[in-house]
């Protein structure tokens, strides 16, 4: 099934929020301050966040006066184009994995979907006939390594896991050594769901990164932040903290099949200037899809105004 039809099928909450925006455009309202206020409120409700909402609204107002727009539908049509443009990040969704082994460090808070996403990614890479090694550096909970083990089996990947309570950086060290010795193509590193407020845990991430740099002679090929799309603006504040601890190359937004409202993706790209690499549309192995901004916007505006 195509990205767009899957999104249309699963992404219902987000589409409801955007339906309200489309409706506003159909009411033939004049572009007065009440219109802009309602429009801004709908964007905030759809999880765009205040800074991104303000940026979008002020941009639209400027064009509205330059082009002497008179009604709301013009603003909404332009808004659709803006969202698409915001989401187009150069070199967007392509995972650059030129080096061998290519190390992909996966970070994010507990429950965001890291381990599941790693399993899905491993399966994709295996489908591309790549040799994949999973590294279980979440040594905080015994169940974490077991869950990763299941995904290793399911995807046909190899695994290096630490004992409970082991130093995560030491597990990463072992994993990279093993990956190099076995000549794997990709090493996917699963990390603990650390609380973003705990400085020591952020320090641990920095330590892991230093081990990767030392052992491979460079930064990770990718550092991907997994965010639960249903946690709204909280996801954005998490993203900022992780970005500060270890520079991110992309985000993966999970649970778009659940109650995610969509605007959060725009806020992430806009405020952090990182691309959305993939989105999660469910719990199964095939429920990870490459992010396609055009298809995403088409799905959100499926029954709406043409641009
Ligand atoms: N509906 C839905 N559930 C997901 C998705 N991704 C992960 N999950 C579920 O979220 C829960 C937490 O996932 P997990 O990978 O253990 O998160 P971690 O703590 O970050 O490793 C699990 O029940 C997953 O099945 C998704 O895209 N959609
Ligand atoms: Mg996990």
**Whose atoms come closest to the Cα of 107: which ligand?**
1
User: What is residue 162's DSSP assignment?
Assistant: P
Contact 115, 161 (CB under 8 A): no
Q: Does the CB atom of residue 73 touch ligand 1 within 6 A? A: no
**Whose atoms come closest to the Cα of 110: which ligand?**
1
Query: How much distance in Å is there from the Cα of 113 to the middle of ligand 1?
Result: 4
Ligand 1 atom closest to the CA of 190, numbered from 1 = 21
Q: How far is it, in rounded angstroms, from Cα 247 to Cα 220?
A: 10
Angle between helices 168-181 and 199-216 (to 10 degrees): 20
- Say what the pTM is: 0.91
Query: How much distance in Å is there from the Cα of 117 to the middle of ligand 1?
Result: 7
Q: Does the CB atom of residue 304 touch ligand 1 within 6 A? A: no
User: What is residue 71's DSSP assignment?
Assistant: B
Q: Does the CB atom of residue 119 touch ligand 1 within 6 A? A: no
**Whose atoms come closest to the Cα of 144: which ligand?**
2
**Whose atoms come closest to the Cα of 113: which ligand?**
1
Task: Provide the pairing of β-strand 288-290 with 276-280.
Answer: antiparallel
Q: Does the CB atom of residue 233 touch ligand 1 within 6 A? A: no
Q: Does the CB atom of residue 113 touch ligand 1 within 6 A? A: yes
Contact 36, 62 (CB under 8 A): no
Ligand 1 atom closest to the CA of 111, numbered from 1 = 19
Query: How much distance in Å is there from the Cα of 138 to the middle of ligand 2?
Result: 7
Q: Does the CB atom of residue 254 touch ligand 1 within 6 A? A: yes
Q: Does the CB atom of residue 136 touch ligand 1 within 6 A? A: no
Instruction: Enumerate residues 6+ apart whose C-beta is below 8 A from 87.
Output: 265, 266, 269, 276, 293, 296, 297
Q: Does the CB atom of residue 111 touch ligand 1 within 6 A? A: yes
Query: How much distance in Å is there from the Cα of 275 to the middle of ligand 1?
Result: 21
* Residue-level pLDDT at 257: 85
* Residue-level pLDDT at 307: 38
Evaluate the omega torsion of the peptide bond into residue 101 and state whether it is cis, within 30 degrees of 0.
Answer: yes
Q: What are phi and psi of 121, to 5 degrees?
A: -65, -40
* Residue-level pLDDT at 196: 47
Question: Residues of the chain whose pLDDT is less than 50?
Answer: 196, 304-307
Q: How far is it, in rounded angstroms, from Cα 273 to Cα 178?
A: 34
Query: How much distance in Å is there from the Cα of 109 to the middle of ligand 1?
Result: 11
**What are residue 187's DSSP bridge partners?**
103, 133
């Amino acid at each position: 099934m195509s990205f767009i039809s899957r999104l249309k099928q699963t992404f219902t909450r987000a589409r409801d929020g955007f339906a309200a925006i489309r409706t506003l455009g159909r009411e033939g309202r004049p572009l007065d301050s009440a219109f802009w206020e309602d429009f801004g409120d709908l964007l905030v409700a759809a999880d765009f966040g205040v800074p991104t909402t303000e940026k979008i609204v002020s941009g639209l107002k400027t064009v509205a006066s330059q082009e002497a727009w008179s009604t709301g539908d013009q603003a909404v049509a332009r808004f659709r184009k803006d969202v698409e443009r915001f989401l187009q990040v150069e070199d967007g969704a392509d995972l650059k994995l030129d080096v061998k082994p290519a190390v992909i460090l996966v970070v994010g808070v507990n429950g965001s979907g890291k381990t599941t996403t790693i399993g899905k990614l491993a399966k994709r890479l295996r489908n591309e006939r790549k040799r994949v090694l999973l590294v279980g550096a979440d040594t905080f909970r015994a169940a974490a390594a077991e869950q990763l083990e299941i995904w290793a089996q399911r995807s046909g990947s190899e695994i290096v896991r630490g004992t409970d309570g082991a130093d995560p950086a030491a597990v990463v060290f072992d994993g990279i050594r093993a990956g190099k010795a076995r000549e794997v193509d990709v090493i996917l590193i699963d990390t603990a769901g650390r609380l973003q407020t705990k400085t020591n845990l952020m320090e641990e991430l920095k330590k892991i990164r230093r081990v990767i740099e030392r052992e491979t002679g460079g930064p990770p090929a990718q550092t991907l932040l997994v965010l639960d799309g249903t946690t709204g603006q909280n996801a954005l504040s998490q993203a900022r903290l992780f970005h500060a601890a270890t520079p991110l190359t992309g985000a993966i937004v999970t649970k778009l099949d659940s109650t995610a409202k969509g605007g959060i993706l725009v806020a992430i790209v806009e405020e952090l200037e990182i691309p959305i690499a993939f989105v999660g549309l469910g719990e199964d192995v095939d429920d990870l899809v490459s992010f396609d901004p055009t298809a995403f916007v088409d799905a959100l505006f499926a029954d709406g105004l043409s641009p």
